[in-house]
Amino acid sequence: MKLKKIVIAGGSGFLGQIIVDRFKEKTEEIVVLSRNSKGQKDNVRTVVWDAKSIGDWSKELNGADVLINLSGKSINCRHNDANKKELLSSRIDATEILGKAIETSEQAPKLWINASAAALYIPGSKPNTENDAHFGNGFMEEMCIRWEESFLKSKCPQTRKIAMRITLILGKSGGVFPVLVGLTKKGLGGKAGSGKQMMSWMHEDDFLNAMNWFIENKNANGVYNMASPQPISNKDFMDLLRKNTNALFGLPAPAFAIRLASIFMQTEPGLVLNSVHVLPKKLLDNGFHFEFAKAENAIASLCKKVN
């Protein structure tokens, strides 16, 4: 199915770029809303916006087949008061202004896909599904809840809406996977902390296939967990990385060392030490097929492509 136009807000990062690469051949025009102008390349062009106020960029939504919102400051930072404020506002401001732009559009986008995160669930031994309505009470959980609320409250009756609760997306050219491969090859691919914390993940091909499924499946709406059907412990994940990179050993990283290092690296230790344990119930129940359901297959496939 040939699409006329896709608009991607915050599309300059890893996820935005793999979406552009997947859909540019089957879409007449892709518009990336960004704070920085990068001009046009082939059928992909950049339009400047501030993610806070209505401007000329809002005209790009008129008649679009799909709007994808990935905007938000990276969570890979220290969660101090200043960063928390920006993490929250960068997501809510962008989502709310997109909603207002749709409400005033002459021809609203047919589909609005908005990013969220699976970090809102309560960690535990039982995996969470979209049916679970009890969430955690930490900052990350609160941020995700308010993010989704700002998305769902927008009055866009002509626009189908999907919220993606994203987990760890494994890709060959960006995100955390190439970093983990590099560390593992240097002998630093041991378990983090106890290694018992669960990791929910999704191969980039399945992520993109799910995006395409959302577009083609007119009955798809609401919240979806973007994760493979088989979560894995941190220890088992790192074991697979060492196996597929031929690493002879992997030094473990005790929890106290991760907390100490995170101060110097200006990141948050919970991003590594906390469990994210979810299942993609709605995708499975509605017939979505995973090419990489098992971590061993996903890791083996990607390690062949990462330098």
Provide the pLDDT for residue 60.
97
Dihedral of alpha carbons 292, 297, 301, 307, sign: positive
Residue 173, helix vs strand vs coil: coil
Q: Which residue has the tokens 């890709």?
A: 171
At 146, phi and psi to the nearest 5? -70, -35
CATH 3.30.70.250 fits 3-167+203-227+284-291, yes or no: no
Residue 76, helix vs strand vs coil: coil
Q: Which residue has the tokens 């915050």?
A: 10
Provide the pLDDT for residue 37.
77
Best CA proximity match to 5, nearest among 20, 114, 152: 20
The tokens describing 185, both together, are: 């090859």
Best CA proximity match to 67, nearest among 185, 139, 161, 173: 161
| Tens of each residue's pLDDT in the chain, 307 residues | 789 999 999 988 999 999 999 999 999 999 999 988 777 788 999 999 999 999 999 999 999 999 999 999 999 999 999 999 999 999 999 999 999 999 999 999 999 999 999 999 988 778 999 998 888 889 999 999 999 999 999 889 999 999 999 999 999 999 999 999 999 999 999 999 999 999 999 999 999 999 999 999 999 999 999 999 999 999 999 999 999 999 989 999 988 788 877 787 788 888 888 889 999 999 999 999 999 999 999 999 999 987 6
Q: Cα Rg for the chain, rounded, in angstroms?
A: 19
Strand-pair category, 40-41 with 111-117: unpaired
Provide the pLDDT for residue 307.
61
C-alpha 44/C-alpha 307 separation (Å) is 27
C-alpha 81/C-alpha 198 separation (Å) is 28
C-alpha 50/C-alpha 103 separation (Å) is 18
Best CA proximity match to 300, nearest among 156, 170, 132: 170
Best CA proximity match to 10, nearest among 51, 55, 43: 51
